[in-house]
Amino acid sequence: MSIFSKEPPNNWSSLVPEATALHARSTIVDLHGDTLMWMKRGYDFFRRHRRTPLSAVLSHIDEPRMRMGGLTAQVFGLVTQPFGLGSAFRSASHQVELLHEAARRHPDRLRVVTEAAELRAASRAGARAGLLGLEGVHALEGDLDNLNHLAKRGLRLCGLSHFSKNPAAHPAIGWGRDDRRGLTPFGEAIVDRCHELGVLVDLAHINRVGFFEAARRSRNPVVVSHTGVCGVTDIRRNIDDEQIRAVADTGGVVGIIFAFNFVGGTTVEAVVNHIVHTVQVGGEDCAALGSDFDGSIIPVRDLSDVADLPNLTAALLARGLSPEAVQKILGKNVMRVLEGVRQRAYEPDEGPGTGGTGVRGYGATGLRGYGGTGLGG
């Protein structure tokens, strides 16, 4: 049976014992979860939360369930509001410090890391690893110095766009969508600065023109932290085969989302469809996990929270993927990217930055000629 069969098997549950053994000896990394968005509202990351009706859209990740699901490392998204609700940069910085404070309170359970070696060391010590990813550069408020400050505090992924236009780029969907326009000069400067800092460029949410411009400009592998693929579910927020190949050509990875509306189905097999399509188009070194847990999504059944991750391993094996390929998808591919791009700015003992007065020629409120909340003209 082809792993790309249009009729996915329903016998994955019979492979749970084999999958559990493979899962237990794998490094498992999720490229995107929005738990910090709730931690800043008092969510206790170190308490196991029970499944409730509200769990359909949040409370997907906590440290006890990370341990239950075998998740080695989580990339925590820094989600900020782009419109008039205080400083987006301060909000991002606050979330960064929440993760550091959590790790300081329970260093035996959580460590903030930037490198593959640190991630492995945390795992050996029995702790979960946390990495940081910015979701939308509107949070930089037009100032590259703010990117420098976040990198010093451990930023590992920098998403160029979210659901609104910003001084760097336009979204695939959302306010200010413009399918004709790519990166601005400020967006190009961000990609270049990410290379200098060893921060990975994240192409989730960005429009197609900007996607290809950023992939071509980046001198490091690029990632798409959380997405589905149009070859299975053709919606605007997903990426097409040409985009998958563009990521693979850089040596990067595509994190497949667990949201039912992105993957076009309500079971774990729907997620597997997107993973195997990514493998088919970009190769088995290109596929990764990008759940978007805690991002106000409704995940598919059998992946209702992070504790269910062994079900995905079983479903991948049932589809005919080799154990070696499954381990790449679960985390080895991300580890390869982390090993190849060293984060050069992290200063773990330094406090949060306050931001500069603006990058020369841009100013603190936005790219010259555009303004801080969006793009002009």
* pLDDT 10s digits, 223-267: 999 999 999 999 999 999 999 999 999 999 999 999 999 999 999
Q: Is residue 364 part of a domain?
A: no
CB 23 within 8 A of CB 313: yes
310-355 confidence digits (pLDDT tens):
999 999 999 999 999 999 999 999 999 999 999 999 997 543 333 3
- List the CATH number of the domain containing 282: 3.20.20.140
Residue 8 pLDDT exceeds 80: no
244: amino acid identity, one letter: I
Residue 63 pLDDT exceeds 80: yes
Q: Is residue 359 part of a domain?
A: no
pTM above the 0.85 mark? yes
Spatial separation of the C-alpha atoms in residues 224 and 239, rounded to whole Å: 9
pLDDT at 55: 65
Q: Is residue 347 part of a domain?
A: no
Domain of 57 in residue numbering reads as 12-340
Q: Is residue 190 part of a domain?
A: yes
Q: Is residue 375 part of a domain?
A: no
Mean pLDDT of 55-67: 88
Q: Is residue 123 part of a domain?
A: yes
Spatial separation of the C-alpha atoms in residues 228 and 238, rounded to whole Å: 5
Number of domains present in the structure of the chain: 1
Residue 121 pLDDT exceeds 90: yes
198: amino acid identity, one letter: G
Q: Is residue 285 part of a domain?
A: yes
Dihedral class, residue 231 (left if φ above 0, else alpha if ψ from -120 to 50, else beta): alpha
- The angle, 0 to 180 degrees and rounded to 10, between the axes of the packed helices 241-249 and 208-217 is 10
